[in-house]
Every structure is written in structure tokens, then in C-alpha cells.
Amino acid sequence: MSKKYITPEGTRDLVLGECKIKRNLQNKIENVLDKWGYNEVVTPTIEFYETFNSGFQNLREEDVYKFFDNKGRILVLRPDMTIPIARVVATKFKDVADPIRFRYSADVFRVNQSLGGKKNEYTDCGVELIGVKDSSSDLEILVTALDVLKILEESEIKLEIGNINFFNSAVKNLNLQEEERLKLAQLIDKKSLKELEDFLAQLKVTEDYKEFFTKLPWLFGGREVLEKAKEYSFNDELKESIEYLEKLASTLDELGYGDCISFDLGMVQRLNYYTGITFRGYVEGVGAIALSGGRYDNLIALFGEDRPAVGFSINLDSLLDIMKDKNMNIKESYKLYYGNESMVEAFKQGEMLRQEGYVVEMIFDETLIGGVKKEKVGKKI
């Protein structure tokens, strides 16, 4: 009985031109980030489970790949790059002046739901801007994200922006248990309207609050959404969150990015992680979220160094399919056929052609008598 050698669930092989497409895309992204002054950092693929458990706070063991070292300590394949960088900043950059700009390109690993269509291994390219709390750093990170998405020249892009403080300001005076607060945020973020309505019916909150949270998932779209959100803002903090987004929107519009941005006040994922703006990038033809990020001012403090930060990562693998048609260009190449007598001459010719920029494939044919046979072909790369 023959064995079937397959890859583990959620992983894939990259074959033929896919590796080149991915490498070219990664190089383009890294080139953009280099021009913004971000320096590359490389962290271990393996980290201690406790490092991520401290950073995520509510990390579920079943969501990560775990194993043990020779001392019995739990290790994980990194499910995220922001937390390793927070660890690096807190341990190795205590005396370095702000701001600190890091970029990375790394494989990350997460155990996603079976048959959910998500990859368990993929490459993240991203940046972290550390040590600047004012609006200028939020603006920088948003424009950097848009510049990265602009690499996909012929595809329509959209950056959807939210503010976690809008939700937090609404719930802070409610006597909700932590599990209730997280569940409420999850239903709003996923726009699970019927479940949200049923869940609100169980909570001990007033009708005004129930109406507010029911409308929150619908507050997405263009700048008119911010005007609508003002109508629902029942305290000053809610209004400040909207005014902050309005300020960012005006500046992005002046910079020429107005058509590329929208807003979603119901974007409230990962409450224990983000502390300000959150955003997601979408690309025409890509079914998944291509880019995501936000402000996380409290994370690095968990590792002993209190510094604000904001960043984003782009899922490189999610973009491969739409990049194929743009990268599979036809380039002149040669096949050189040679026999025993013409071996040296064939390799000399091949070297000359490669120096001229051609792709050259060497093909040995022991039956070939005489000189080198050169065939000009087109090759997809």
C-alpha cells in the first residue's frame, strides 16, 4: 500500500513561479519600508509560551503550536511578530532614544479552525513604530500602510479605520464581567446581528445602551459615518474618539488618500491588545483581510518598559494569487544542447548569455555530435 505524502493542514508548497512572485512582492514591500526609515529585526521562530501568554493575556493554548524544551518548559512557534518585538524593545533597547522603527518579514504559525480556509503558516511583513504617542505616529503608520498597498498598482485598495476607544468609552461605566465585555465586542466586530440582539437581551443594561450597541455594527462606510456616530455619542469621550478620526480623515484627504479610506466604528477586535486606532486593508480580488494593525500603548509595559507603539502587518501569502498575472512576464531565454565534445564550449556560451541577462538552461545529450545547439525560447518568470 502506497503512502500519501501530504502537507499538514493549513500549510502549502510554493512551486514553479510562486516562489519568485512571493520573493519579488516581499522585496517591493521591504523597499517601501526601508524608505520610511524602518530597520529590519529578526527574532527566533521559537519563543517561550509564557512570552505570548503575557502579551495576549487571553491566549488560548489550542491556538498555538506547542512543544517542550529539554528542561520541560513550554515553547511555541511564534503566532505573531508584535509580541517578540515588544520583548526585544523591553530587553535590548531600554537606553535607546525614541522613536524606534522596526520592520520584519517572518513566518508565523497559528492553529486555525479546521476547514475554515485560513492558513496555519504564512509570512507576515510589517512595521512597529515605538515611542511616539501623538497623532503624527498614527498618521505615519496609516500612510505607510497605504504606500505598501499601492504596490498592487492595478488593484483597488481600501483602508478601513476604527477607534477602539469609541467602544471602550461606551462600556466603561457598565458593570459587565470581562467575559461579557469580550463577547459583546466579538459579536459587534463580526456583525452577528441576531446573536448580538439576543445577547443584549440577556445583559442588565438600559434600553439606551442596547440601542447604541445594536447600531454600532452598522456604523461603517465613508466620512458620513463619522457624522452619524456623533448623533449616538452620549458622552465627551465618545465625541473625542470621533473627532480624532475626523482629524485623521481630513489630513489623509489633503495628502491625496481620501478615496482609499473608509471607517468602521464596530471594529473592536482584541480588546486587551489595542488602545486606539485600528485598521484593516483590503485589496480587490483578495477574499481575506490583506493588512491589519493598530495602536497598542500598553503592550510593551507588560515586559517592563512602558512605551507607546503602533504598527501593522501584511499577509504576504494572501496576495500571491492576484500577483501571478502581474508577475508572470515573458522573458527571452535559451536552451543549450550539448554533447561530450561540446561541453566546455556550451558552458562558455551559457556564461556569456547569463552575463547579458538571459535565463540559460543546460541540456546534456550524449547522442549529440558536433557543436552546441542553441534554442531561443520564452520563459515565464
- Is position 367 annotated in a ligand binding site? no
- Is position 104 annotated in a ligand binding site? no
Helices 164-171 and 178-189, interaxial angle, to 10°? 140
- Is position 138 annotated in a ligand binding site? no
Q: Are 182 and 56 in contact (CB under 8 A)?
A: no
- Is position 273 annotated in a ligand binding site? yes
Kindly state the cell numbers that stand for 188.
459587534
- Cα–Cα distances in Å, from 279 out to 96, 142, 157, 263, 310? 28, 8, 13, 9, 11
By DSSP bridging, strand 100-109 and strand 121-130 are antiparallel
Q: Are 276 and 294 in contact (CB under 8 A)?
A: yes
Q: For residue 216, give the nearest of 258, 259, 184 by alpha carbon.
A: 184
DSSP 139-188: HHHHHHHHHHHTTSTTS-EEEEEEEHHHHHHHHTTS---HHHHHHHHHHH
- Is position 231 annotated in a ligand binding site? no
Torsion sign (Cα): 50, 55, 60, 65: negative
- Is position 49 annotated in a ligand binding site? no
Cα–Cα distance measured from residue 103 to residue 83, given in angstroms and rounded to the nearest whole number: 13
- Is position 80 annotated in a ligand binding site? yes
Kindly state the cell numbers that stand for 63.
491556538
Residue 155 backbone phi and psi in degrees, to 5 = -100, 140
Cα–Cα distance measured from residue 256 to residue 73, given in angstroms and rounded to the nearest whole number: 51
- Tell me the binding residues: 80-82, 110, 128, 273-274
- Tell me the binding residues for L-histidine: 80-82, 110, 128, 273-274
